[in-house]
């Protein structure tokens, strides 16, 4: 059951307006006088596992609207027999910890939520929640927080300024927000929440309690200049750069942000990825300008990582191949007019290859449904190309059990005097049947002329996708069971190209489990019928591939004593051998805690793919026996609440031994050919191997909220050999790579005027 009456009654009780309030001191100690008149919440329910029984751990919260912001306090009683987790973490890194969450939907329309997290040790995280339950931790907000601990439990206090997010104009001196509060018990993995919303359901943001509060408005003008110096230890010499981010929020309805010469997140390092496939690798964006109030531009196409505004395009690889584009400036305006929210984004790159990016987003809330529009334009003079994309999205919730999401998108590309137009559409229907049963229907169509990647991200076009999924959640496991709950899912998937070529027919079975030790398990089995791969040869002849299977198991166990660990294993078949050849991959990551502030981890990965298909050119493909070893290790030291030291090492050694060279025919069949080629350059197919290294030492000192000093040392390299070398030797030799080595110092300071 959904306990809707409880939520309604709680929301009604919270609608009683508080008396005039005095200032709240955010010190982690709940002073009864300070919180007198606050709205008091005690009806927390168990939502992980999703049994919805009353919380086994007494939890209370207070909510109060003040001129300085939304104030929230938690009192968490913790029995003596329940271990407390006190690890100190970097910002936005929580893990399995004792913590509390406050998620606020400032407009109360289920569109965008802002998540604020405090752990028992005082660590914080903040995220933006869109699309009902998609969390993005790239955003960092400015808010006050504190915790305290005693024998009976611990307390936490939040103060979230009203200028945090754009919101609609209040009426009658009050504002109705959507609110969700929860508490996680780190040692058991349990979560208790009010109201009984859960991101394990199709709806999350829409199930928040509607809370009426006295309305206040705040203004903010903040300027964050930065200076950065980089010393190149390979070629010698140093470079210096400077820029600034500006935020102006005259009121809750209008927020303007701008950036001049933004840095490209030099203090963040992307994970190493070896990608020989046709789809590009997706990376998130940590640049402050591109994360501030970015939620309104969220327009996904339901397939993995898809979106029409992918901000890593701005300042990404330049069209002339000279490296990263140089962003001169960018500006963003967010606000609301009545029930309509809007966002405008513009960015300019410099130089003859510089691009111009534009985006407009509109979103209107109707009773029971919402309608939105997005339009983007990118001008690419180096390529004589102009790209326009328009999308319309719609959310409809006709009943408490049924949710329908859909969108349509079209592209118009002008290049070198010719025009190409394409279209696409997606639809997903989620139905909560009761008793833990759920169904989902999902359909996608992306035409072969649809192009959104000038500004957006779409792994591929030219497909028609459909699936039906039936799920069952079981939360009443026996007391003696090591499991607290199971979530079973069965899915049937069909994918064709826009011209009727079969890409996939798959049966997928999943069991996702929560364990009583606070850990989790994930088991997935995929059975694939014979199909065609139309991407391997980059749009040339499609390759026929026999049926195959895949079985994966993931297990994580949170900290017990000084150790925590994660395991990920996979076995499966593929390539042209089908089920005749079976490969595997194993990843194991133990973490050792020297103390609550200092930990070290080392992940070792081993992979064997006996029939690895790698495109060479035209319709020529190599079949390789591929083996690789990987190391992902690091050290995290939280030196008090203001300082942190992170050491990160990633290394990969890969060996690919040629088994056969094949030519893909027009009928999709692979025909063996002479691997030595015809003697022309690039015609031969040979063994190859590679090594890759990424190493970073990063020190951070927090001068003030959103004001930091970074000192970063980085080194990396990549080497490809046209002959076979054992993976262990490549992994060992990767530590000598030194394509790049630099020392970076960055200082940024936020001035609030």
Predicted pLDDT of residue 5: 35
pLDDT at 14 over 60: no
- Residue 264's pLDDT band, with cuts at 50, 70 and 90, is low
The first and second tokens of residue 139, run together, are 């955003």
pLDDT of 324: 87
Query: Which of 612, 553, 535, 604 lies closest to 581, judged by CA?
Result: 612
- What mean pLDDT is predicted for residues 130-157? 92
Q: Quick check: 517 and 492 in contact, CB under 8 A? A: no
Say whether pLDDT at 19 is over 80: no
Determine the Cα–Cα distance for residues 161 and 116; give it in Å rounded to an integer: 12
739 burial level (CB within 10 Å; 0-12, 13-18, 19+)? exposed
Q: Which residue has the tokens 């020297």?
A: 594
Give the C-alpha separation, 28 to 21, whole Å.
18
What pLDDT, in 10s, does the model give residues 534-557?
999 999 999 999 999 999 999 999
Share of the chain above pLDDT 70, in %: 97
The pLDDT confidence band at residue 47, using thresholds 50, 70 and 90, is: very high
Cα–Cα distance for residue pair 518/642, rounded to 1 Å: 29
276 confidence band (pLDDT: 50, 70, 90): confident
Name 731's Cβ contacts closer than 8 Å, sequence gap at least 6.
629, 630, 631, 651, 652, 653, 691
Number of residues that this document lists for the chain? 753
Q: Is 290 helix (H, G, I), strand (E, B) or coil?
A: helix
**How confident is the model over 30-45, as pLDDT tens digits?**
999 999 989 999 999 9
pLDDT (0 to 100) of residue 22: 54
Cβ burial 291-323 (10 Å sphere, 16+ → b, else e): bbbbbbbbbbbbeeebbbbbbbbbbbebbeeee
Tell whether the model's pLDDT for residue 266 goes beyond 80: no
pLDDT score, position 677: 80
Question: Average pLDDT over the chain, rounded to whole?
Answer: 92
Nearest to 130 by CA among 300, 361, 255: 300
Question: With respect to CATH, is domain 4-216 assigned 2.60.40.1190?
Answer: yes
Which has the closest alpha carbon to 494: 483, 502, 505, 485?
505
CATH 2.40.160 intervals, the chain? 219-223+238-264+279-461
Q: Average of pLDDT values for 140-161?
A: 95
* Whole-number pLDDT of residue 4: 39
Average pLDDT over residues 417-428: 96
Q: What's the rounded Cα separation, in Å, for the pair 284 and 61?
A: 34
Domain 219-223+238-264+279-461: give its CATH code: 2.40.160
Answer whether 610's CB lies under 8 Å from 658's CB.
Answer: no
Q: Which helix (H) or strand (E) holds 5?
A: helix 4-14
Average pLDDT over residues 245-269: 84
Quote the DSSP letter at residue 96. S
Range(s) of the chain covered by CATH 2.60.40.1190: 4-216
pLDDT category of residue 265 using cuts at 50, 70 and 90 = low
Compute the CA torsion angle 513, 515, 520, 522 (nearest 10 deg).
-30
Query: Could you tell me the two tokens for 443?
Result: 């359909």
Q: pLDDT tens digits, residue range 444-493?
A: 999 999 999 999 999 999 999 999 999 999 998 998 999 999 999 999 99
CA-to-CA separations, 193 to 41, 52, 179, 186, 475, in angstroms, rounded: 10, 9, 11, 15, 16
Global pTM reads 0.89
When pLDDT is cut at 50, 70 and 90, the band that residue 2 belongs to is very low
Share of the chain above pLDDT 90, in %: 78
């Amino acid at each position: 059951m959904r306990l809707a009456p409880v939520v309604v009654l709680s929301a009604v009780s919270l609608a009683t307006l508080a008396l005039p309030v005095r200032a709240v001191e955010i010190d982690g100690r709940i002073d009864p006088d300070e919180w007198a008149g606050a709205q008091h919440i005690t009806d927390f329910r168990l939502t992980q596992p999703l049994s919805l029984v009353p919380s086994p751990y007494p939890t209370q919260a207070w909510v109060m609207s003040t001129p300085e912001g939304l104030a929230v306090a938690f009192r968490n009683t913790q029995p003596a027999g329940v271990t407390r987790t006190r690890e100190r973490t970097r910002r936005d890194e929580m893990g399995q910890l004792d913590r509390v969450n406050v998620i606020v939907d400032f407009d109360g329309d289920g569109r965008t939520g802002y998540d604020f997290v405090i752990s028992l040790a005082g660590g914080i995280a903040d995220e933006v929640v869109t699309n009902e339950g998609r969390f993005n931790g790239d955003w960092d907000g400015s808010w006050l927080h504190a915790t305290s601990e005693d024998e009976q439990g611990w307390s936490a206090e939040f103060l979230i300024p009203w200028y945090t997010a754009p919101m609609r104009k209040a009426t009658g001196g009050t504002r109705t927000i959507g609110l969700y509060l929860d508490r996680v018990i780190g040692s058991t993995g349990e979560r208790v929440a009010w109201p009984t919303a859960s991101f394990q359901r199709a709806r999350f943001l829409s199930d928040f309690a509607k809370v009426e509060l006295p309305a206040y408005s705040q203004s903010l003008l903040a300027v964050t200049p930065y200076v950065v110096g980089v010393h190149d230890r390979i070629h010698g010499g140093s470079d210096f750069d400077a820029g600034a981010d500006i935020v102006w929020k005259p009121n809750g309805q209008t927020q303007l942000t701008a950036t001049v010469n933004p840095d490209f997140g030099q203090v963040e390092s992307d994970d190493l990825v070896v990608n020989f496939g046709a789809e590009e690798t997706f990376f998130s964006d940590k640049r402050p300008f591109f994360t501030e109030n970015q939620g309104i531009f969220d327009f996904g196409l339901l397939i993995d990582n898809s979106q029409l505004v992918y901000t890593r395009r701005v300042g990404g690889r330049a069209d002339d191949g000279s490296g990263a584009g140089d962003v001169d400036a960018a500006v963003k305006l967010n606000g609301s007019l009545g029930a309509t929210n809007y966002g405008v984004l513009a960015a300019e790159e410099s130089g003859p290859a510089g691009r111009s990016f534009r985006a407009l987003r509109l979103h209107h809330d109707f009773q029971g449904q919402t309608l939105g529009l997005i339009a983007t334009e990118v001008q690419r003079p180096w390529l004589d190309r102009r790209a326009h994309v328009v999308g319309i999205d719609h959310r409809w919730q006709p009943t408490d059990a049924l949710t329908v999401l859909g969108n349509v998108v079209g592209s118009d590309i002008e290049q070198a005097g010719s025009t190409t137009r394409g279209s696409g559409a997606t639809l997903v229907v989620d139905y909560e049947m009761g008793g833990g049963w759920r169904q989902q229907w999902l359909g996608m169509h992306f035409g072969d002329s649809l192009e959104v990647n000038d500004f957006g991200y779409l792994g591929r076009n030219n497909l028609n996708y459909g699936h039906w999924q039936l799920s069952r959640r079981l939360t009443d496991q026996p007391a003696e069971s090591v499991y607290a709950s199971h979530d079973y899912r069965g899915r049937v998937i069909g994918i064709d190209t826009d011209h009727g070529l079969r890409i996939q027919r798959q049966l997928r079975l999943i069991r996702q489990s929560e364990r009583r030790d606070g850990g989790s398990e994930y088991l997935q089995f995929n059975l694939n019928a014979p199909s065609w791969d139309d991407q391997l040869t980059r749009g040339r002849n499609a390759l026929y591939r026999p049926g195959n299977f895949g079985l994966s198991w993931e297990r994580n166990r949170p900290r017990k004593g000084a150790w925590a660990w994660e395991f990920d294993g996979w076995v499966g078949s593929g390539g042209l051998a089908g089920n005749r050849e079976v490969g595997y991959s194993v990843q194991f990551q133990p973490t050792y805690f020297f103390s609550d502030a200092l930990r070290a981890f080392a992940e070792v990965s081993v992979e064997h793919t006996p029939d690895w298909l790698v495109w060479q050119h035209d319709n020529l493909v190599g079949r390789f026996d591929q083996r690789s070893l990987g190391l992902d290790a690091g050290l995290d030291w939280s030196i008090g609440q203001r300082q942190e030291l992170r050491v990160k090492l990633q290394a990969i050694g890969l060996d690919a031994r040629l088994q056969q060279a094949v030519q893909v025919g027009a009928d999709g069949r692979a025909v063996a050919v002479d691997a030595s080629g015809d003697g022309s350059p690039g015609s031969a197919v040979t063994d190859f191997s590679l090594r890759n290294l990424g190493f970073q030492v990063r020190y951070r000192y927090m001068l003030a909220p959103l004001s930091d000093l970074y000192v970063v040392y980085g080194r990396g390299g990549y080497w490809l050999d046209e002959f076979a070398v054992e993976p262990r030797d490549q992994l060992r030799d990767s530590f000598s790579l030194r394509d790049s080595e630099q020392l970076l110092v960055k200082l940024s300071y936020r001035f609030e005027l």
